[in-house]
């Protein structure tokens, strides 16, 4: 724990205190090449943290709602499938990523790999009476 404590309380503050950050706006224009080079690593770290935070917030907002692309102008997405249209089997999308909505087009696969989710379709199949025993 001492290593972490020392890093946070001593090493980082000393490093930041040693950065050539000017006291005034005009001071930025008087920095030399060596000063600018010294500012690159913390700029990359701050930029990386900012980018990662932005992506995390963006994903959190996107995952806040289930439907992010299907008929967003409608108050509620409701579909009817006629039983006669089912045939032997029909796969209905439950991940809300299908471009053939309400049918599954396999888009749940890339979604599951990208997010760690485990969504999949509901498969409706016609069972012959003799198979249903």
SS3 125: strand
Decide whether 57 or 69 has the Cβ nearer to ligand FES.
69
**Active-site annotation holds for 76:** yes
Does 90 sit near ligand FES (CB under 6 A)?
no
Q: Which of 97, 116, 126, 128 binds ligand FES (CB under 6 A)?
A: 97
Does 94 sit near ligand FES (CB under 6 A)?
yes
Does 107 sit near ligand FES (CB under 6 A)?
yes
Q: How many angstroms separate the CA atoms of 104 and 97, rounded?
A: 8
Cβ–Cβ < 8 Å for 98, 111: no
Cβ–Cβ < 8 Å for 68, 95: no
What mask, x for binding ligand FES by CB under 6 A, covers residues 48 to 87? ----------------------------------------
Between the two ends of the chain, the Cα-to-Cα distance in Å is: 65
In whole angstroms, how close is the CB of 108 to ligand FES at the nearest point? Answer: 4
Q: Please work out the total of residues on this chain that contact ligand FES, with binding judged by CB under 6 A.
A: 13
In whole angstroms, how close is the CB of 121 to ligand FES at the nearest point? Answer: 4
Which DSSP string corresponds to 51-97?
HHHHHHHHHHHHHHSS-SSS-TTSSS------GGG-TTEEEE-SSS-
Decide whether 44 or 122 has the Cβ nearer to ligand FES.
122
């Amino acid at each position: 724990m001492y290593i972490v404590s020392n890093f946070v309380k001593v090493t980082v503050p000393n490093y930041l205190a040693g950065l050539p950050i000017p006291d005034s706006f005009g001071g930025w224009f008087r920095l030399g090449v060596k000063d600018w080079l010294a500012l690159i690593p913390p700029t990359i770290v701050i930029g990386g943290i900012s980018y990662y935070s932005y992506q995390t917030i963006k994903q959190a907002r996107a995952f806040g709602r289930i439907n992010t692309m299907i008929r967003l102008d409608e108050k509620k997405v409701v579909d009817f499938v006629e039983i006669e249209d089912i045939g032997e089997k029909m796969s209905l999308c439950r991940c809300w990523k299908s471009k053939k909505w309400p049918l599954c087009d396999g888009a749940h696969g890339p979604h599951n790999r990208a997010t760690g989710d485990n969504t999949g379709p509901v498969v409706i199949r016609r069972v012959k009476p003799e198979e249903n025993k």
